[in-house]
């Protein structure tokens, strides 16, 4: 007998929307009164099904069904949203997880064979302080304390002060890491937030991992000269070299099966009466495979040097940010695939462009996988974010199957 009720998850999503949204969308920004209210609502539901609840040092909310074994299956989500956010991002994961706790509680009459814990991560979105994955990166031990200590919101409030208002001590946030002590596996359901499943006309996909990112500023340096008096063959035009390189950079990404974006271009002196002396572009390259990502970076650098030489200018690279690709667990990816096929016939494996809390848990060494459900319009972080209700129901059912398969796998170890 399986008491899972996927319809109830949809009803609860709508209930949460009624409680915490206005005409512009969801307003559950972390560390605000609406977020606190949303969490109290969630905590109440968890307690009434018989879960123990506990808030850790980083403000993550843990809802635990204690089992015969201390080894724990973790199910993650985040009830916080961006301002004017959608109704599914983060909440679907959380409320599907809640429904799975209910099913397990009923099936084992309150005494499951292993411990199952639902986590509502604190401040996944980073909407207020510009630092996403706060709670999960504190828990995984990857939070940069120096950087986070100095973060302020647009009113000038410091992150440590905002935490103190919630009764949290910034200097102790990493102590939350001990919650992972008995973690045997971590699963997370999420809306795709992109168009891949929509274009394939498939409801669900198994996520292979999150992209690695290489982000650089590339500065070409030439010589400023009068736009009228300088013959074309005498110019050292920094913009021209950057412009010629750009299509090559996109071809490199395509050839290697990754993605790249030249997101900004700044010229100096920046007036039309002068040849460009300095041109600085920002380049973001992403790939799931570390070797391919390294190759994309190397090839882009070679291309920049080639075009710089051709244009008689110089070029310099400066790293702005990088993160390694984070692959999910091979066996759990297989379980995810199976769970999807058993639910709706066909599955698809895809990487995740955005980072998620799951990536932090995987970095902490816990076997991890995510499941994606199709997003309509391929859009998120917007009140028009949506998914067909039939797909949401399938997602809850497939995710529950994944939970069972993963629990059995943990118990067999
Ligand atoms: Zn999310």
Task: Say whether pLDDT at 327 is over 80.
Answer: yes
Structure tokens at 60: 């993550």
Ligand 1 mean position, distance from CA 21 (Å) = 16
Ligand 1 mean position, distance from CA 128 (Å) = 15
- Mean pLDDT value of segment 112-125: 97
Paired strand residues for 190: 372
Ligand 1 mean position, distance from CA 22 (Å) = 19
Specify the pLDDT at position 76.
98
Ligand 1 mean position, distance from CA 132 (Å) = 10
Helix axes 238-256, 290-310, angle to 10 degrees: 150
Other Cβ atoms less than 10 A from the Cβ of 345: the count is: 9
From 341, 261, 245, 254, select the one nearest 300 (Cα to Cα): 245
Residue with token string 């110019």: 235
Ligand 1 mean position, distance from CA 93 (Å) = 8
Please list, in sequence order, all residues whose beta carbon lies within 8 angstroms of the beta carbon of residue 395, skipping any fewer than 6 positions away.
92, 96, 189, 203, 204, 371, 373, 387
Q: What is the pLDDT of residues 255-308, one digit of tens each?
A: 999 999 999 999 999 999 999 999 999 999 999 999 999 999 999 999 999 999
Report whether 266 contacts 219 (CB < 8 A). Answer: no
Specify the pLDDT at position 381.
81
Paired strand residues for 118: 63, 75
What percent of the chain shows pLDDT beyond 70? 100
Ligand 1 mean position, distance from CA 95 (Å) = 13
Specify the pLDDT at position 321.
86
- Mean pLDDT value of segment 135-155: 94
Confidence of residue 237 (pLDDT cuts 50, 70, 90): very high
Report whether 202 contacts 346 (CB < 8 A). Answer: yes
Ligand 1 mean position, distance from CA 56 (Å) = 20
Task: Say whether pLDDT at 11 is over 80.
Answer: yes
Please list, in sequence order, all residues whose beta carbon lies within 8 angstroms of the beta carbon of residue 115, skipping any fewer than 6 positions away.
64, 65, 66, 67, 69, 70, 71, 72, 73, 182
Q: What is the distance of C-alpha 50 from the center of its chain?
A: 30
What's the CA gap between 297 and 63, in Å, rounded? Answer: 43
Ligand 1 mean position, distance from CA 88 (Å) = 8
Ligand 1 mean position, distance from CA 288 (Å) = 19
Task: Say whether pLDDT at 2 is over 90.
Answer: no
φ, ψ at 224 (rounded to 5°): -70, 140
Ligand 1 mean position, distance from CA 308 (Å) = 41
Ligand 1 mean position, distance from CA 25 (Å) = 15
Looking at every residue in the chain, the average pLDDT score rounds to 96
Burial bucket for residue 196 (CB in 10 Å: 0-12, 13-18, 19+): middle
Specify the pLDDT at position 53.
98
Ligand 1 mean position, distance from CA 110 (Å) = 30
Ligand 1 mean position, distance from CA 356 (Å) = 7
CB burial of 308-341 (b: ≥16 within 10 Å; e: otherwise) equals: beebebebeeeeeeebebbbbbeebbebbbbbbe
Ligand 1 mean position, distance from CA 78 (Å) = 7
Task: Say whether pLDDT at 208 is over 90.
Answer: yes
Ligand 1 mean position, distance from CA 89 (Å) = 5
From 323, 397, 326, select the one nearest 367 (Cα to Cα): 326
Specify the pLDDT at position 380.
80
Confidence of residue 44 (pLDDT cuts 50, 70, 90): very high
Ligand 1 mean position, distance from CA 125 (Å) = 7
Task: Say whether pLDDT at 350 is over 60.
Answer: yes
Specify the pLDDT at position 1.
57
From 233, 313, 241, 239, select the one nearest 275 (Cα to Cα): 239
- Mean pLDDT value of segment 370-399: 93
* pTM metric for this prediction: 0.89
Looking at residue 277, the DSSP 8-state letter turns out to be: S
Specify the pLDDT at position 51.
98
Looking at residue 124, the DSSP 8-state letter turns out to be: S
What's the CA gap between 268 and 194, in Å, rounded? Answer: 36
Please list, in sequence order, all residues whose beta carbon lies within 8 angstroms of the beta carbon of residue 292, skipping any fewer than 6 positions away.
256, 257, 258
Ligand 1 mean position, distance from CA 385 (Å) = 12
Q: What is the pLDDT of residues 213-222, one digit of tens each?
A: 999 999 999 9
Burial bucket for residue 178 (CB in 10 Å: 0-12, 13-18, 19+): exposed
Paired strand residues for 279: 220, 267
What's the CA gap between 30 and 343, in Å, rounded? Answer: 34
Ligand 1 mean position, distance from CA 373 (Å) = 12
Confidence of residue 130 (pLDDT cuts 50, 70, 90): confident
Ligand 1 mean position, distance from CA 190 (Å) = 7
């Amino acid at each position: 007998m399986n008491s899972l009720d996927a319809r109830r998850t949809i009803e609860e999503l709508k209930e949460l929307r009624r409680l915490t949204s206005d005409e512009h969308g969801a307003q559950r920004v972390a560390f605000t009164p609406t977020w606190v209210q949303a969490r109290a609502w969630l905590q109440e539901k968890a307690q009434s099904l018989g879960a123990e609840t506990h808030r850790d040092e980083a403000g993550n909310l843990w809802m635990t069904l204690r089992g015969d074994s201390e080894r724990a299956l973790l199910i993650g989500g985040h009830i916080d949203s961006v301002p004017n956010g959608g109704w599914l991002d983060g909440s679907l994961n959380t409320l599907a997880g809640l429904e799975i706790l209910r099913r397990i509680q009923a099936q084992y009459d309150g005494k499951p064979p292993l411990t199952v814990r639902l986590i509502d991560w604190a401040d996944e979105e980073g909407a207020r302080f510009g630092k996403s994955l706060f709670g999960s990166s504190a828990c995984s031990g990857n939070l940069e304390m120096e950087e986070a200590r100095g973060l302020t919101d647009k009113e000038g409030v410091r992150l440590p002060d905002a935490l103190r208002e919630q009764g949290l001590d910034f200097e102790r946030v990493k102590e939350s890491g001990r919650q992972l002590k008995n973690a045997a596996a971590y699963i997370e359901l999420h809306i795709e937030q992109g168009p891949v499943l929509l274009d394939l006309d498939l409801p669900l996909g198994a996520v292979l991992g999150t992209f690695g990112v290489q982000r650089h500023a590339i500065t070409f340096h030439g010589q400023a000269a009068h736009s009228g008096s300088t013959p074309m063959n005498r110019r050292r035009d920094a913009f021209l070299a950057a412009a010629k390189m750009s299509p090559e950079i996109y071809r490199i990404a395509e050839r290697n099966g990754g993605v790249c974006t030249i997101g900004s271009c700044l010229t100096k002196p920046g007036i039309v009466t002068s040849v460009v002396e300095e041109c600085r572009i920002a380049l973001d390259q992403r790939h799931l495979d570390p070797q391919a990502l390294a190759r994309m970076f190397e090839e882009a650098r070679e291309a920049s040097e080639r075009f710089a030489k051709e244009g008689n200018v110089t070029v310099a690279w400066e790293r702005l940010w990088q993160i390694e690709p984070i692959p999910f667990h091979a066996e759990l990816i297989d379980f995810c695939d199976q769970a999807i096929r058993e639910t709706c016939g066909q599955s698809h494996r895809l990487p995740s462009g955005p980072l998620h809390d799951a990536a932090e848990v995987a970095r902490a060494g816990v076997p991890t996988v995510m499941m994606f459900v199709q997003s309509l319009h391929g859009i998120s972080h917007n009140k028009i974010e949506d998914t067909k209700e039939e797909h949401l129901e399938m997602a809850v059912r497939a995710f529950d199957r994944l939970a069972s398969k993963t629990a059995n796998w943990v118990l067999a170890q």
